Copies of this chain bind each other. A is one copy, B any other.
Protein backbone atom coordinates (compact mmCIF):
# COMPACT_ATOMS: atom_id res chain seq x y z
CA UNK A 1 0.00 0.00 0.00
CA UNK A 2 1.36 3.42 -1.04
CA UNK A 3 0.68 6.52 1.02
CA UNK A 4 1.28 10.23 0.65
CA UNK A 5 1.18 12.88 3.37
CA UNK A 6 0.04 16.41 2.60
CA UNK A 7 0.46 18.97 5.35
CA UNK A 8 -1.58 22.11 4.98
CA UNK A 9 -0.77 25.52 6.43
CA UNK A 10 0.93 28.72 5.38
CA UNK A 11 2.78 28.91 8.72
CA UNK A 12 4.37 25.52 7.93
CA UNK A 13 5.20 26.50 4.37
CA UNK A 14 6.97 29.66 5.52
CA UNK A 15 8.98 27.75 8.10
CA UNK A 16 7.42 29.56 11.06
CA UNK A 17 6.60 26.17 12.56
CA UNK A 18 8.73 23.05 12.22
CA UNK A 19 6.47 20.24 11.03
CA UNK A 20 6.71 17.38 13.51
CA UNK A 21 3.31 15.93 12.60
CA UNK A 22 4.44 14.60 9.21
CA UNK A 23 7.42 12.66 10.65
CA UNK A 24 5.12 11.32 13.38
CA UNK A 25 2.63 10.03 10.80
CA UNK A 26 5.40 8.71 8.54
CA UNK A 27 6.97 6.72 11.38
CA UNK A 28 3.67 5.17 12.32
CA UNK A 29 2.76 4.32 8.72
CA UNK A 30 6.20 2.70 8.29
CA UNK A 31 5.54 0.64 11.43
CA UNK A 32 2.33 -0.58 9.82
CA UNK A 33 4.16 -1.59 6.65
CA UNK A 34 2.61 1.22 4.61
CA UNK A 35 5.08 2.75 2.11
CA UNK A 36 5.28 6.53 2.24
CA UNK A 37 6.65 7.71 -1.11
CA UNK A 38 5.80 11.40 -1.14
CA UNK A 39 5.29 14.20 1.35
CA UNK A 40 4.20 17.68 0.42
CA UNK A 41 3.51 20.93 2.25
CA UNK A 42 1.11 23.47 0.80
CA UNK A 43 -0.23 26.76 2.12
CA UNK A 44 -3.84 27.68 2.81
CA UNK A 45 -4.55 28.06 -0.89
CA UNK A 46 -7.43 26.44 -2.83
CA UNK A 47 -5.64 26.04 -6.14
CA UNK A 48 -2.44 24.53 -4.81
CA UNK A 49 -4.16 22.28 -2.29
CA UNK A 50 -6.47 21.01 -5.05
CA UNK A 51 -3.45 20.23 -7.24
CA UNK A 52 -1.72 18.39 -4.41
CA UNK A 53 -4.78 16.26 -3.57
CA UNK A 54 -5.48 15.41 -7.24
CA UNK A 55 -1.88 14.35 -7.79
CA UNK A 56 -1.81 12.29 -4.60
CA UNK A 57 -5.04 10.44 -5.44
CA UNK A 58 -3.56 9.35 -8.74
CA UNK A 59 -0.36 7.87 -7.42
CA UNK A 60 -1.21 6.70 -3.88
CA UNK A 61 -3.69 4.35 -2.18
CA UNK A 62 -3.87 6.42 0.98
CA UNK A 63 -3.84 10.22 1.17
CA UNK A 64 -3.19 11.64 4.64
CA UNK A 65 -4.11 15.30 5.06
CA UNK A 66 -2.99 17.12 8.19
CA UNK A 67 -3.87 20.70 9.14
CA UNK A 68 -6.38 23.25 7.95
CA UNK A 69 -9.23 21.97 10.17
CA UNK A 70 -9.50 25.04 12.39
CA UNK A 71 -12.26 27.66 12.75
CA UNK A 72 -10.94 30.41 10.47
CA UNK A 73 -11.71 31.24 6.88
CA UNK A 74 -8.18 30.08 5.96
CA UNK A 75 -8.93 26.52 7.09
CA UNK A 76 -10.16 24.89 3.92
CA UNK A 77 -9.07 21.25 4.02
CA UNK A 78 -12.51 19.81 4.77
CA UNK A 79 -14.63 22.01 2.54
CA UNK A 80 -12.25 21.61 -0.38
CA UNK A 81 -12.00 17.82 -0.06
CA UNK A 82 -15.80 17.60 0.15
CA UNK A 83 -16.06 19.60 -3.09
CA UNK A 84 -13.44 17.50 -4.85
CA UNK A 85 -15.25 14.30 -3.85
CA UNK A 86 -18.62 15.87 -4.64
CA UNK A 87 -20.01 15.05 -1.20
CA UNK A 88 -21.87 17.01 1.46
CA UNK A 89 -20.52 18.15 4.81
CA UNK A 90 -22.68 16.95 7.69
CA UNK A 91 -22.57 17.79 11.39
CA UNK A 92 -21.34 15.34 14.01
CA UNK A 93 -23.76 15.64 16.93
CA UNK A 94 -21.39 14.92 19.85
CA UNK A 95 -18.67 17.24 18.47
CA UNK A 96 -21.19 20.04 17.91
CA UNK A 97 -22.56 19.62 21.44
CA UNK A 98 -19.03 19.82 22.89
CA UNK A 99 -18.34 22.98 20.89
CA UNK A 100 -21.60 24.65 21.88
CA UNK A 101 -21.03 23.79 25.54
CA UNK A 102 -17.61 25.41 25.43
CA UNK A 103 -18.93 28.69 24.08
CA UNK A 104 -21.86 28.67 26.48
CA UNK A 105 -19.63 27.91 29.48
CA UNK A 106 -16.95 30.49 28.67
CA UNK A 107 -19.31 33.15 27.34
CA UNK A 108 -16.94 33.78 24.45
CA UNK A 109 -18.52 34.72 21.11
CA UNK A 110 -18.45 31.78 18.67
CA UNK A 111 -16.36 32.61 15.57
CA UNK A 112 -18.26 32.58 12.25
CA UNK A 113 -16.64 29.41 10.95
CA UNK A 114 -16.37 27.51 14.25
CA UNK A 115 -19.11 25.00 13.41
CA UNK A 116 -17.01 23.70 10.53
CA UNK A 117 -14.84 22.00 13.14
CA UNK A 118 -17.63 19.57 14.04
CA UNK A 119 -18.54 18.74 10.43
CA UNK A 120 -17.42 15.74 8.40
CA UNK A 121 -17.74 14.52 4.84
CA UNK A 122 -20.80 12.31 4.30
CA UNK A 123 -19.82 8.65 4.36
CA UNK A 124 -16.64 9.13 6.41
CA UNK A 125 -15.88 7.66 9.83
CA UNK A 126 -15.68 10.52 12.32
CA UNK A 127 -12.49 10.53 14.41
CA UNK A 128 -13.25 12.34 17.69
CA UNK A 129 -10.75 14.93 18.95
CA UNK A 130 -9.87 14.34 22.63
CA UNK A 131 -7.87 17.54 22.96
CA UNK A 132 -9.44 20.14 20.66
CA UNK A 133 -12.67 20.61 18.72
CA UNK A 134 -11.91 19.73 15.10
CA UNK A 135 -12.98 16.18 14.25
CA UNK A 136 -10.85 14.04 11.94
CA UNK A 137 -12.11 11.67 9.24
CA UNK A 138 -11.34 8.32 7.67
CA UNK A 139 -12.96 7.80 4.30
CA UNK A 140 -12.76 5.07 1.67
CA UNK A 141 -13.97 5.79 -1.87
CA UNK A 142 -13.75 3.67 -5.01
CA UNK A 143 -10.41 5.23 -5.93
CA UNK A 144 -8.60 6.02 -2.75
CA UNK A 145 -8.52 6.14 1.06
CA UNK A 146 -8.39 9.48 2.87
CA UNK A 147 -7.26 10.17 6.40
CA UNK A 148 -7.87 13.75 7.55
CA UNK A 149 -6.19 14.87 10.78
CA UNK A 150 -5.72 18.14 12.69
CA UNK A 151 -2.31 19.83 12.43
CA UNK A 152 -1.30 20.51 16.04
CA UNK A 153 0.74 17.54 17.35
CA UNK A 154 -1.13 17.58 20.68
CA UNK A 155 -4.43 16.93 18.85
CA UNK A 156 -3.06 14.79 16.06
CA UNK A 157 -1.06 12.28 18.05
CA UNK A 158 -3.80 10.87 20.31
CA UNK A 159 -6.27 10.91 17.39
CA UNK A 160 -3.82 9.00 15.24
CA UNK A 161 -2.96 6.40 17.86
CA UNK A 162 -6.47 5.84 19.20
CA UNK A 163 -8.68 6.39 16.16
CA UNK A 164 -6.70 6.19 12.94
CA UNK A 165 -4.26 3.39 13.64
CA UNK A 166 -6.86 0.65 14.23
CA UNK A 167 -8.58 1.57 10.93
CA UNK A 168 -5.28 1.53 9.06
CA UNK A 169 -4.38 -1.86 10.51
CA UNK A 170 -7.66 -3.26 9.29
CA UNK A 171 -7.04 -1.73 5.90
CA UNK A 172 -3.57 -3.26 5.64
CA UNK A 173 -3.76 -6.61 7.38
CA UNK A 174 -7.40 -7.41 7.61
CA UNK A 175 -6.63 -7.92 11.33
CA UNK A 176 -8.72 -5.72 13.54
CA UNK A 177 -6.58 -5.21 16.65
CA UNK A 178 -3.23 -3.47 16.93
CA UNK A 179 -1.25 -2.50 19.97
CA UNK A 180 2.23 -1.18 20.59
CA UNK A 181 4.55 -0.77 23.53
CA UNK A 182 7.56 1.51 23.85
CA UNK A 183 10.58 0.32 25.85
CA UNK A 184 13.24 2.79 27.02
CA UNK A 185 16.98 2.15 27.34
CA UNK A 186 19.95 4.05 28.69
CA UNK A 187 23.63 3.17 28.39
CA UNK A 188 23.54 1.55 24.96
CA UNK A 189 23.60 3.31 21.58
CA UNK A 190 21.03 2.73 18.83
CA UNK A 191 23.39 0.76 16.52
CA UNK A 192 24.49 -1.50 19.40
CA UNK A 193 20.87 -2.07 20.46
CA UNK A 194 19.92 -2.97 16.88
CA UNK A 195 22.86 -5.36 16.66
CA UNK A 196 21.85 -7.13 19.87
CA UNK A 197 18.25 -7.42 18.62
CA UNK A 198 19.16 -8.18 14.99
CA UNK A 199 17.53 -11.61 14.83
CA UNK A 200 14.34 -10.31 16.43
CA UNK A 201 14.15 -7.32 14.09
CA UNK A 202 14.86 -9.12 10.82
CA UNK A 203 13.00 -12.38 11.40
CA UNK A 204 9.65 -11.05 12.51
CA UNK A 205 6.91 -9.23 10.69
CA UNK A 206 4.40 -9.43 13.52
CA UNK A 207 5.26 -7.98 15.98
CA UNK A 208 7.49 -5.40 14.34
CA UNK A 209 10.35 -3.76 16.23
CA UNK A 210 11.67 -0.26 15.50
CA UNK A 211 14.40 1.62 17.38
CA UNK A 212 14.62 5.40 17.77
CA UNK A 213 17.65 7.41 18.94
CA UNK A 214 16.76 10.07 21.52
CA UNK A 215 19.02 12.45 23.43
CA UNK A 216 21.50 10.08 25.07
CA UNK A 217 18.97 7.24 25.13
CA UNK A 218 17.17 4.84 22.79
CA UNK A 219 13.56 3.76 22.56
CA UNK A 220 12.18 0.61 20.98
CA UNK A 221 8.62 0.42 19.68
CA UNK A 222 7.10 -3.07 19.46
CA UNK A 223 3.88 -3.22 17.45
CA UNK A 224 1.66 -6.32 17.17
CA UNK A 225 -1.57 -6.95 15.33
CA UNK A 226 -4.06 -9.78 15.65
CA UNK A 227 -7.67 -10.85 15.82
CA UNK A 228 -8.38 -9.96 19.42
CA UNK A 229 -6.85 -8.11 22.36
CA UNK A 230 -5.71 -11.25 24.15
CA UNK A 231 -3.84 -12.55 21.13
CA UNK A 232 -2.11 -9.18 20.62
CA UNK A 233 -1.21 -8.84 24.30
CA UNK A 234 0.36 -12.29 24.25
CA UNK A 235 2.42 -11.49 21.14
CA UNK A 236 3.63 -8.26 22.70
CA UNK A 237 4.62 -9.94 25.96
CA UNK A 238 6.55 -12.67 24.14
CA UNK A 239 8.45 -10.04 22.17
CA UNK A 240 9.15 -7.93 25.29
CA UNK A 241 10.48 -11.00 27.13
CA UNK A 242 12.79 -11.79 24.22
CA UNK A 243 14.05 -8.20 24.10
CA UNK A 244 14.65 -7.95 27.85
CA UNK A 245 16.50 -11.29 27.86
CA UNK A 246 19.01 -9.71 25.47
CA UNK A 247 19.28 -6.06 26.59
CA UNK A 248 17.47 -5.94 29.95
CA UNK A 249 20.48 -4.35 31.71
CA UNK A 250 19.91 -1.13 29.78
CA UNK A 251 16.11 -1.05 30.22
CA UNK A 252 14.45 1.34 32.65
CA UNK A 253 10.81 1.81 31.69
CA UNK A 254 7.89 1.89 29.27
CA UNK A 255 6.15 4.63 27.35
CA UNK A 256 6.76 7.46 24.88
CA UNK A 257 6.29 10.17 27.51
CA UNK A 258 8.30 8.51 30.24
CA UNK A 259 11.74 9.56 31.49
CA UNK A 260 14.47 8.25 33.78
CA UNK A 261 13.72 10.99 36.32
CA UNK A 262 10.02 10.09 36.46
CA UNK A 263 10.83 6.42 36.99
CA UNK A 264 13.44 7.20 39.65
CA UNK A 265 11.28 9.70 41.57
CA UNK A 266 8.45 7.15 41.43
CA UNK A 267 10.70 4.46 42.93
CA UNK A 268 12.03 6.81 45.62
CA UNK A 269 8.52 7.79 46.67
CA UNK A 270 7.36 4.19 46.66
CA UNK A 271 10.30 3.11 48.86
CA UNK A 272 10.13 6.32 50.94
CA UNK A 273 13.82 7.04 50.39
CA UNK A 274 15.18 10.59 50.47
CA UNK A 275 17.94 11.86 48.20
CA UNK A 276 20.38 14.73 47.81
CA UNK A 277 23.32 15.57 45.55
CA UNK A 278 26.66 17.32 45.33
CA UNK A 279 27.25 18.44 41.76
CA UNK A 280 30.44 19.65 40.22
CA UNK A 281 30.46 18.65 36.51
CA UNK A 282 26.68 18.87 36.22
CA UNK A 283 26.37 22.22 38.04
CA UNK A 284 22.83 21.63 39.35
CA UNK A 285 21.44 19.74 36.36
CA UNK A 286 20.83 16.51 38.32
CA UNK A 287 18.78 18.27 40.99
CA UNK A 288 16.99 20.41 38.43
CA UNK A 289 16.14 17.25 36.47
CA UNK A 290 14.67 15.62 39.58
CA UNK A 291 12.69 18.83 40.14
CA UNK A 292 11.11 18.36 36.68
CA UNK A 293 8.90 15.75 38.33
CA UNK A 294 5.84 17.05 40.21
CA UNK A 295 5.75 15.75 43.78
CA UNK A 296 9.52 15.34 44.06
CA UNK A 297 9.53 17.39 47.28
CA UNK A 298 8.38 14.27 49.18
CA UNK A 299 11.86 12.77 48.69
CA UNK A 300 14.11 15.72 47.82
CA UNK A 301 14.72 18.64 50.21
CA UNK A 302 17.73 20.22 48.55
CA UNK A 303 21.45 19.86 47.89
CA UNK A 304 24.71 21.36 46.75
CA UNK A 305 26.39 22.70 43.67
CA UNK A 306 30.10 22.35 44.43
CA UNK A 307 31.74 23.62 41.28
CA UNK A 308 35.13 24.59 42.76
CA UNK A 309 37.52 22.70 45.03
CA UNK A 310 36.77 25.25 47.77
CA UNK A 311 33.01 24.66 47.77
CA UNK A 312 33.64 20.90 47.78
CA UNK A 313 35.52 21.42 51.03
CA UNK A 314 33.25 24.08 52.51
CA UNK A 315 29.80 22.73 51.62
CA UNK A 316 30.23 18.94 51.73
CA UNK A 317 33.46 18.62 53.73
CA UNK A 318 35.62 16.87 51.18
CA UNK A 319 39.03 16.74 52.92
CA UNK A 320 41.56 19.00 51.19
CA UNK A 321 43.98 16.07 51.45
CA UNK A 322 41.64 13.86 49.37
CA UNK A 323 41.63 16.40 46.57
CA UNK A 324 45.38 17.00 46.87
CA UNK A 325 46.16 13.27 46.78
CA UNK A 326 43.70 12.17 44.05
CA UNK A 327 42.68 15.27 42.11
CA UNK A 328 39.19 16.71 41.71
CA UNK A 329 38.21 14.18 39.03
CA UNK A 330 38.69 10.97 40.98
CA UNK A 331 36.85 8.12 42.60
CA UNK A 332 37.97 9.34 46.02
CA UNK A 333 36.71 12.90 45.57
CA UNK A 334 33.38 11.71 44.10
CA UNK A 335 32.98 9.32 47.05
CA UNK A 336 33.75 12.02 49.63
CA UNK A 337 31.32 14.42 47.93
CA UNK A 338 28.47 11.89 48.05
CA UNK A 339 29.21 10.95 51.67
CA UNK A 340 29.45 14.60 52.70
CA UNK A 341 26.14 15.53 51.06
CA UNK A 342 24.43 12.51 52.64
CA UNK A 343 25.82 13.44 56.06
CA UNK A 344 24.86 17.13 55.77
CA UNK A 345 21.21 16.53 54.93
CA UNK A 346 20.71 13.13 56.64
CA UNK A 347 19.29 11.55 53.49
CA UNK A 348 19.06 7.88 52.57
CA UNK A 349 20.84 8.38 49.24
CA UNK A 350 23.26 10.95 47.84
CA UNK A 351 24.74 11.28 44.36
CA UNK A 352 27.90 13.15 43.40
CA UNK A 353 29.27 14.15 40.01
CA UNK A 354 32.78 15.31 39.22
CA UNK A 355 34.46 15.46 35.84
CA UNK A 356 35.38 17.49 32.80
CA UNK A 357 32.51 18.80 30.68
CA UNK A 358 34.80 20.42 28.13
CA UNK A 359 35.56 21.89 25.72
CA UNK A 360 39.17 21.00 26.43
CA UNK A 361 40.58 18.78 29.15
CA UNK A 362 41.38 19.75 32.74
CA UNK A 363 43.49 18.34 35.60
CA UNK A 364 45.08 15.81 33.28
CA UNK A 365 41.70 14.42 32.13
CA UNK A 366 40.26 14.75 28.63
CA UNK A 367 36.83 16.37 28.15
CA UNK A 368 34.05 13.86 28.77
CA UNK A 369 35.81 12.01 31.64
CA UNK A 370 33.76 11.86 34.80
CA UNK A 371 33.01 9.98 38.00
CA UNK A 372 29.61 9.41 39.57
CA UNK A 373 29.28 8.23 43.18
CA UNK A 374 26.11 6.96 44.86
CA UNK A 375 26.06 6.80 48.66
CA UNK A 376 23.64 4.12 49.89
CA UNK A 377 21.62 3.85 53.12
CA UNK A 378 23.96 1.16 54.49
CA UNK A 379 26.94 3.52 54.38
CA UNK A 380 28.60 2.04 51.31
CA UNK A 381 29.29 4.05 48.15
CA UNK A 382 29.02 2.82 44.58
CA UNK A 383 31.14 4.55 41.96
CA UNK A 384 31.27 4.57 38.21
CA UNK A 385 33.82 6.05 35.82
CA UNK A 386 32.63 7.12 32.38
CA UNK A 387 34.44 8.39 29.31
CA UNK A 388 32.03 10.06 26.95
CA UNK A 389 33.79 12.37 24.50
CA UNK A 390 30.92 14.54 23.21
CA UNK A 391 29.97 18.18 23.45
CA UNK A 392 29.66 19.88 26.83
CA UNK A 393 25.93 19.70 27.23
CA UNK A 394 25.64 16.11 26.00
CA UNK A 395 28.31 15.13 28.54
CA UNK A 396 26.42 16.81 31.37
CA UNK A 397 23.13 15.21 30.30
CA UNK A 398 24.81 11.80 30.02
CA UNK A 399 26.27 12.22 33.52
CA UNK A 400 22.85 13.04 34.99
CA UNK A 401 21.33 9.99 33.29
CA UNK A 402 24.21 7.80 34.48
CA UNK A 403 23.44 8.86 38.06
CA UNK A 404 19.71 8.24 37.61
CA UNK A 405 20.35 4.79 36.10
CA UNK A 406 22.63 3.85 39.03
CA UNK A 407 19.76 4.72 41.40
CA UNK A 408 17.28 2.84 39.21
CA UNK A 409 19.50 -0.25 39.25
CA UNK A 410 19.67 -0.10 43.05
CA UNK A 411 15.95 0.30 43.58
CA UNK A 412 14.35 -1.71 40.77
CA UNK A 413 16.19 -5.01 41.10
Residues of A participating in the B interface, judged by any CB pair closer than 8 Å:
12-20, 22-28, 30, 36-43, 45, 48, 52, 212, 277, 279, 282-288, 290-292, 294, 296-297, 300-308, 310-312, 314-315, 344-345, 357-360, 392-393, 396
Least distance between A345 CB and chain B CB atoms (Å): 7
Q: Once the chains bind, are A288 and B288 in contact (CB under 8 Å)? A: yes
A396: chain B residues within 8 A (beta carbon): 288, 291
Given A40-B40, A311-B302; A393-B292 close (CB under 8 Å) = yes
Would you list the 8 A-B pairs with minimal beta carbon distance, nearest first? A283-B291, A284-B284, A302-B311, A15-B26, A15-B23, A284-B287, A284-B288, A301-B308
A284: chain B residues within 8 A (beta carbon): 279, 283-288, 291, 303, 305
A302: chain B residues within 8 A (beta carbon): 304-308, 310-312, 315
Given A23-B18, A292-B392; A287-B305 close (CB under 8 Å) = yes
Stoichiometry, copies per complex: 2
A14: chain B residues within 8 A (beta carbon): 26-27, 30, 36
* Bound Cα distance A37, B10 (Å): 9
Q: Which residue of B lies closest to A311 (CB)?
A: B302
Least distance between A408 CB and chain B CB atoms (Å): 20
* Bound Cα distance A272, B285 (Å): 25
A303: chain B residues within 8 A (beta carbon): 284, 304-305, 311
* Bound Cα distance A16, B31 (Å): 12
A305: chain B residues within 8 A (beta carbon): 277, 284, 287-288, 291, 302-305
Given A38-B48, A305-B305; A392-B294 close (CB under 8 Å) = yes
* Bound Cα distance A25, B15 (Å): 8
Q: Once the chains bind, are A304 and B307 in contact (CB under 8 Å)? A: no
A311: chain B residues within 8 A (beta carbon): 301-303, 345
Q: Once the chains bind, are A301 and B307 in contact (CB under 8 Å)? A: yes
A357: chain B residues within 8 A (beta carbon): 291, 294
Name 8 A/B residue pairs within 8 A (Cβ), A-sorted: A15-B25, A15-B28, A37-B43, A40-B40, A283-B284, A283-B291, A285-B285, A302-B312
* Bound Cα distance A290, B25 (Å): 38
Q: Once the chains bind, are B291 and A288 in contact (CB under 8 Å)? A: no
Q: Once the chains bind, are B38 and A26 in contact (CB under 8 Å)? A: no
Least distance between A361 CB and chain B CB atoms (Å): 13
Least distance between A191 CB and chain B CB atoms (Å): 13
Q: Which residue of B lies closest to A279 (CB)?
A: B284
Least distance between A394 CB and chain B CB atoms (Å): 12
* Bound Cα distance A392, B20 (Å): 23
Least distance between A320 CB and chain B CB atoms (Å): 15
Least distance between A321 CB and chain B CB atoms (Å): 20
A30: chain B residues within 8 A (beta carbon): 14-15
Q: Which residue of B lies closest to A358 (CB)?
A: B294
Q: Which residue of B lies closest to A278 (CB)?
A: B302
Q: Which residue of B lies closest to A6 (CB)?
A: B40
* Bound Cα distance A292, B357 (Å): 9
